[in-house]
Structure 1
Amino acid sequence: MRWHASRTMKLLTAFKRHLFMSLGNAMPTYGPFNRMRPALYRRAGITIGENVTIIGPLSVELSLNEETLRGISIGDRAYLNADTRLACRNSKISIGADVQIGPRVSFETATHDVVFAPNVGRGLDHHEIRVEDKVWIGAGATILPGVTIHEAAVVAAGAVVTKNVPAYTLVGGVPARKIKDIVRA
């Protein structure tokens, strides 16, 4: 009987996660809804700071399991534009305070080996992504596994970030390369 109750609770908890993520993603993408959406995502299990704006929908890779959602943290006053993708099963994505993320930005924490091995395939590695405070990421950028984007850096639209980005640096291109230093205010 205890096994049945435990399984029922797990199913109800999973349903709750899916319900709150679905409600957040179904809301209109204007005005007060963009401020209400983070509260629903918090209820699903994502750690979200104060005064965060998420335009939505927010795409969380494949699995809405508890570990995946708890692996996502978004700092105070962050702004996530439409169609942000957070792929972090078996890893973590941390987004700092005062971060601005353009539309269709993708965070990918998983990668495959290049060499195909019999009975193994290409394997799968997971590495955390960290975005420090005051970073701006332009539309359509892709952030790959193991990357840290340091404080106040800027990632140009469409860039593919494969390596760490130093603080106060503008990067762009495929793969992303340093374009210039940013003068501190």
Structure 2
Amino acid sequence: MGIDAMTLYRMGRKLYLRGIPVVPAVLRKAIHFLHGSYIPVEAEIGEGTQLGYGGMGIVIHKDARIGRHCLISHQVTIGGRSGLKDLPVIGDYVRIGAGAKILGNVRIGDFAVIGANAVVVRDVPAGTVVGGIPAREIRKDPDPLAAYEREMGLRPPVRRPEAVPSVPPPASAAQ
């Protein structure tokens, strides 16, 4: 098993955030050469996000934001449109099918599913399944968490609250 595009992206992102200038650019070129993808270190991609087939053919704009635990299939484009300044913002636990295009100032809600080869140019509410060109709503799940568990076969990881430092007992209670 080789190194996938997401592993190279994560290494480059850590170095980029530390202010190291050349190595992240070399890693971006390695991603392009090995996987045929453009995944810049400037893009914000949340923890646990996975790329299908190691990230083959994926194009992500440098200003796009992708949430946690998303699944992005191969040949997906996440980028801008001519004349529009803002870029896509993708929520948590979103699944994007092969060949889908998410373009322009678009907000994708948590637990949304983007069908294969869909072209998304409008916002997608949380828990909605969309498909087609342009993408239209196919179904809306009343309980997106249960649908995610049923379709993916696993429960989404729950963030543990930060540990609260213990408060020492008052001096009068210690006696």
TM-score class, shorter? 0.5 to 0.7
Aligned pairs for 1:1-185 (under 5 A) are: 31-34=1-4, 36-42=7-13, 45=16, 56-60=35-39, 69-70=41-42, 72-81=43-52, 82-88=56-62, 92-111=63-82, 124-182=83-141, 183-184=143-144, 185=146
Deviation >4 Å, runs of 4+ = none
| Partner SS, residue 107 of structure 1 | strand
For 2:61 and 2:15, the matched residues in 1 are separated by 16
Instruction: Note the residue ranges of structure 1 that are not aligned, 5 or more in a row.
Output: 1-30, 48-53, 112-123
Counterpart of 1:15 in structure 2 is: none
Alignment length, in residue pairs?
126
| Partner SS, residue 170 of structure 1 | strand
Shift of 1:160: 0.1
Counterpart of 1:14 in structure 2 is: none
Aligned partners of 1:46 and 1:73 also within 8 Å: no
Greater share of residues in strand: 1
Identity %: 30
| Partner SS, residue 38 of structure 2 | strand
Q: Are residues 144 and 126 of structure 1, via their aligned partners in 2, closer, same or farther at CA, if it must alter by over 3 Å?
A: same
| Partner SS, residue 59 of structure 1 | coil
For 1:44 and 1:103, the matched residues in 2 are separated by 26
For 2:89 and 2:130, the matched residues in 1 are separated by 16
For 2:35 and 2:46, the matched residues in 1 are separated by 17
The CA deviation string for residues 153-185 of structure 1, in whole angstroms up to 9 with x for no partner, is 000000000100000010000000000013431
Q: Highest CA radius of gyration, 1 or 2?
A: 2
Alpha carbon RMSD of aligned pairs, Å? 2.5
Aligned partners of 1:95 and 1:130 also within 8 Å: yes
Aligned partners of 2:91 and 2:108 also within 8 Å: yes
TM-score by length of 2: 0.63
TM-score by length of 1: 0.60
Instruction: Note the residue ranges of structure 2 that are not aligned, 5 or more in a row.
Output: 19-30, 147-175
For 1:46 and 1:153, the matched residues in 2 are separated by 29
